[in-house]
Amino acid sequence: MTKIQINKILSDLLGITLIIKRDDLYPSPGGGNKARKLDYIIPPAIVKGFNALVTAGSCQSNHVRATALYAAKLGWKSVMIIHDQKPEVFQGNLKLMSLAGAELRFIDKMAVKEEMDKAMKDLQGRGFNPFYIQGGGHCVEGSYAYYEAAKELRDQAGAILPDFIVVASGTGTTQAGLEIGVREFYPGCKVLGISISRNEERGKEAILEAMKELNDFLNQPVVLPDDIFFDDRWKGEGYERTYPELLETIRWAAHTEGLILDPTYTGKAFHALCHNVKTGLIPANSTVVFWHTGGLINLLATDKI
């Protein structure tokens, strides 16, 4: 369970009630939504007798870092396929992956699938029973984690009824879980997914696919809405790409009320939130939950801000 807080100064300045859901403080070093997903992905694998992990991501992948730490906590072997060049100095997430004892294989972006399969075979050849986790923790258990998280919010927010939930959206796993959870627990509330890299068409398709899988998993009838909000206007030129207004918003939130955002994920989502308040898409006096998905390590590992 992560806490919620009301940010009074930012609320007053924006003319809304701003509530922050602190998944950045999810209890794992570095926190974030990837750690929450793994709490639903890995326990079933433990029960099934797996004893090693394979996954993939970039040097600053929060998912790979959280997976490496989880493996270390279990005393499991892990092999991480890193689709980046090996840097001379290990910073941020890469430093934590390395400290956690993960075996890191730096490869070309085009070869992720092959290298993951190869890592699985290698581990099997060495007598392990490896469990395969898709990059980003993109799977139905990952979405289920955020369906449960919507329930957690309802249980802790009591009489506070959010009108909007704003969340940074990448693979769509987190948003898909929230979409289904919110429809059940907060009818009338709208999830505003803010793309950090994908265009609208691809992003929505992935969210709808993940929602379909989660509906199946929950044994619920499949009702796929046509009003998924996945806004690709704030991604800049793509993943990890920044622009001056984004950096300005990150500085503003930090010095105005100590709200720390990162330029890869949460900064884009909060920048969109501010814009949507200004244009009236989020009307004045709305109650808005900003789902803080993490990213502090991304902020510390970049020299862009």
CA proximity to 73, closest of 28, 136, 135: 28
One-letter amino acid for residue 257 of the chain: E
Query: Applying CB under 6 A, which of residues 58, 60, 62, 249 lies at the interface with ligand PLP?
Result: 62
60 binds ligand PLP (CB under 6 A): no
To ligand PLP, the closest distance from the beta carbon of 239 in angstroms equals 10
168 binds ligand PLP (CB under 6 A): yes
Nearest 5 degrees, angle CA 270-CA 36-CA 238?
A: 40
CB nearer to ligand PLP: give 170 or 181.
Answer: 170
Query: Applying CB under 6 A, which of residues 58, 60, 173, 249 lies at the interface with ligand PLP?
Result: 173
Residues 259-278 that bind ligand PLP (CB under 6 A): 265-266
Q: How far apart are CA 189 and CA 162, in angstroms?
A: 6
Q: How far apart are CA 303 and CA 271, in angstroms?
A: 19
One-letter amino acid for residue 41 of the chain: I
Helix (H, G, I), strand (E, B) or coil at 37: helix
CA proximity to 57, closest of 133, 131, 141, 142: 133
Query: Applying CB under 6 A, which of residues 60, 174, 249, 287 lies at the interface with ligand PLP?
Result: 174
293 binds ligand PLP (CB under 6 A): yes
Query: Applying CB under 6 A, which of residues 135, 162, 172, 263 lies at the interface with ligand PLP?
Result: 172
Q: How far apart are CA 131 and CA 63, in angstroms?
A: 15
170 binds ligand PLP (CB under 6 A): yes
Contacts with ligand PLP by CB under 6 A lie at: 32-34, 62, 136, 168-175, 265-266, 293-295
